[in-house]
Amino acid sequence: MLDLTFETPKPKVIAGAKHDWELVIGMEVHAQVASNAKLFSGASTRFGAEPNANVAFVDAAMPGMLPVINEFCVAQAVRTGLGLKAEINLWSAFDRKNYFYPDLPQGYQISQLYHPIVGEGEIIVDMGPGVARRVRIERIHLEQDAGKSIHDMDPAMSFVDLNRTGVALMEIVSRPDIRGPEEAAAYVTKLRQILRYLGTCDGNMQNGNLRADVNVSICLPGAYERFQETGDFSHLGTRCEIKNMNSMRFIQQAIEYEARRQIAIVEAGGEVVQETRLYDPDKGETRSMRSKEEAHDYRYFPDPDLLPLEIEQAWVDDIAASLPELPDAKKARFVLQMGLSEYDASVLTAEVQNADYFEAVAEGRDGKMAANWVINELFGRLKKDDRDIADSPVSPQQLGGIIDLIAKGDISGKIAKDLFEIVYTEGGDPAQIVEARGMKQVTDTGAIEAAVDAIIAANPAQVEKAQQNPKLAGWFVGQVMKATGGKANPAAVNQIVSQKLGL
């Protein structure tokens, strides 16, 4: 596999009233496993169903119901682990995390505290061309999602929908390797990208299928390096956990606010209290969830309904063999083998559908030219219409056809843009359109010469000026292009104009 080299970004520094401060951030991302059925029941995971329609008696915790694990969800967790270059634990086990809440009918969440299915891995978080942060993954475990409570339908009651109860989640836990709000958002972006490439989570943040808890603490410059050398957390400040954010923008805002709040406390001589906080996007601030603190005694114990989860290395190997090319490898290949800039490669690999489209266009053609057309013309046009690559009216074959016509010299770049617009709005084969509508570039020097002669003859004053100041030759080129409806080959026109004017 190819690798791009990168430099490590500088940590974000926030100026307090007394000193400069740095941030230390660790994240726990909950990613909903893409599956048909739930983790331990045969109920559907489909979003948007009638309330309590996707509920098996296991999910509703009816007495005597027993969980049976969905093997595909296990495979998805393994696949995710392999995609994050993580170690896969062939032996893992499920534990009960006990707490009471109306949307958790079991009274406990089945999770994996002591023996998670996936161990240490890593994510390369891109911060711009040539700059990236290596963030270590501590673990990934499988667990059940809770249901959904709705508080605003009745003044005195909360309404509970168990459709989400028991849907499989992967909790992906990072080490405290993230050093600023932008890095935190970039981390989630990259993780989401990898999950979507793998097909293990759809990454839909709006529906809550990917949400993040962020642990934030502050420290003086230099303290983080001492922590890294020794592994001793006492070099770092006390952390607060901000729960359940489902937007990149909120993640950044919440971290920024939380860091400043902690700095103000410490600089005033106070102490940060370790607690769980909630970000309020309307007020732009985090606030304490004190009521959660008291209940934070989860009394974990091994779930007696479930045997340990034992998987075979051969099965893991089969999953490994089916992994797609992942974003880092694809980007490196686009840069190193196809000659793209890192920026263009990043744009094209952001979504695997974009990368696939680009590769279909670039097949047998110039990579850079294909990248320019896909990014500047196609993406620009799709964005204008708020359309997705999946319903692009221009197929890779059509766009490739346009590029071929330019490469052959049949049409100029300018005409190609007109042609693109025709193909985009009306469809059709580019070569046939060019033929049928007479858009072909005039490379016949005889025809161009005739046009140049006519313009020179009609404009003696301009000829004189241009002969004194050769820069004015451009005027003749423009006139010729106009006279030929933009179809004259610009290079040929330039040459002939210079020649005829005797420049």
Q: At what angle do helices 396-408 and 413-426 cross, to 10 degrees?
A: 160
Query: Which whole-number Å values give the CA distances from 225 to 12, 80, 136, 174, 364, in the listed order?
Result: 14, 30, 16, 18, 49
Please identify, using beta-carbon distances, which residue of 107 and 380 lies nearer to other proteins: 107
Among 299, 383, 384, 471, binds other proteins (CB under 8 A): 299
Among 3, 7, 20, 71, binds other proteins (CB under 8 A): 71
**Closer CB to other proteins, 198 or 419, in the complex:** 198
Residue 402: CB minimum distance to other proteins, A: 43
36 vs 341, beta carbon nearer other proteins: 36
Least CB distance from residue 170 to other proteins, whole Å? 15
Nearest to 132 by CA among 1, 9, 4: 9
Return d(Cα 471, Cα 478) in angstroms, integer. Answer: 13
Give the residue, chosen from 95, 138, 145, 161, that forms a contact with other proteins under the rule CB under 8 A.
161
Build a one-symbol-per-residue string for 84-123: x at contacts with other proteins by CB under 8 A, - elsewhere: ---------x----x-xxx---------------------
Please report where in the chains the tokens 């004015």 appear, as a residue.
472
100 versus 460: smaller Cβ distance to other proteins: 100
> Among residue numbers 7 through 66, which ones bind other proteins (CB under 8 A)?
35-37, 41-44, 50-58, 60
Both tokens assigned to 216: 């934030």
Does 233 engage in binding with other proteins (CB under 8 A)? no
Pick 34 or 434: Cβ nearer other proteins: 34
Residue type at position 177: D
CB of 195 to other proteins, least distance (A): 17
Q: Which lies closer to other proteins via its Cβ, residue 156 or residue 390?
A: 156
Structure tokens at 282: 């309307």
Tell me how many residues contact other proteins (CB under 8 A).
52
* Residue (42 or 409) nearer to other proteins, CB: 42
72 is a contact residue toward other proteins (CB under 8 A):
yes
Contact 117, 129 (CB under 8 A): no
Distance of CA 170 to the CA centre of its chain: 18
Tokens in use for 453? 């002669």
199 binds other proteins (CB under 8 A): no
Nearest approach, Cβ of 110 to other proteins (angstroms)? 13
- How many CB atoms sit inside 10 A of residue 166's CB? 31
Question: Nearest distance from residue 305's CB to other proteins, in Å?
Answer: 10
Residue 304: count of CB within 10 angstroms of its CB: 8
- Residue 496, both tokens: 């002939």
Distance from C-alpha of 427 to C-alpha of 411, rounded to nearest angstrom: 18
The answer to whether the beta carbons of residues 25 and 227 sit under 8 Å apart is: no
- Pull the structure tokens for residue 225: 């390096």
Shortest spacing between CB 55 and other proteins, in angstroms? 5
β-strand partners of 142: 170
**Among residues 7, 280, 310, 363, which is the contact residue for other proteins, using CB under 8 A?**
310
Check residue 301 for interaction with other proteins (CB under 8 A). Answer: no
Are 41 and 241 in contact by the 8 Å Cβ rule? The answer is no
Q: Which is nearer to other proteins, 37 or 406 (CB)?
A: 37
Instruction: In angstroms, give the least distance from the CB of 168 to other proteins.
Output: 10
Cβ nearer to other proteins, comparing 50 with 391: 50
Dihedral sign of CA atoms 110, 114, 118, 121 in order: positive
If binding is defined by CB under 8 A, does position 282 make contact with other proteins? Answer: no
> 295 or 454: whose CB is closer to other proteins?
295
Q: Which of 132, 160, 245, 355 binds other proteins (CB under 8 A)?
A: 160
Q: How far is the CB of 61 from other proteins (least distance, A)?
A: 11
As measured in angstroms, the least distance from the Cβ of 244 to other proteins is 13
Toward other proteins, which CB reaches closer, 161 or 377? 161
Distances in Å between the Cα of 368 and the Cα atoms of 147, 340, 373 are: 49, 6, 9
82, 123, 162, 473: which one binds other proteins (CB under 8 A): 162
CB of 204 to other proteins, least distance (A): 19
Check residue 154 for interaction with other proteins (CB under 8 A): yes
Q: Residue 54 gets which letter from DSSP?
A: S
Q: In this complex, which beta carbon is closest to other proteins, that of residue 304 or of residue 460?
A: 304
Subset of 210-229 contacting other proteins (CB under 8 A) = none
Name the residue among 405, 479, 485 with its Cα closest to residue 496.
Answer: 479
Lookup: tokens for 229: 């050398």
- Residues 6 or more apart whose CB falls under 8 angstroms from that of 107 comprise 61, 98, 99, 100
CA distance 252 to 231: 26
Measured from the CB atom, the residue of 57 and 233 that comes closer to other proteins is 57
Which two three-digit tokens encode residue 416? 């190609």
- Residue showing tokens 């000026």: 465
Q: What are phi and psi of 16, to 5 degrees?
A: -90, -175
Is residue 281 at the binding interface for other proteins, with CB under 8 A as the rule?
no
- Residues interacting with other proteins, by CB under 8 A? 35-37, 41-44, 50-58, 60, 68-74, 93, 98, 100-102, 149-151, 153-162, 289, 291, 295, 297, 299, 306-310
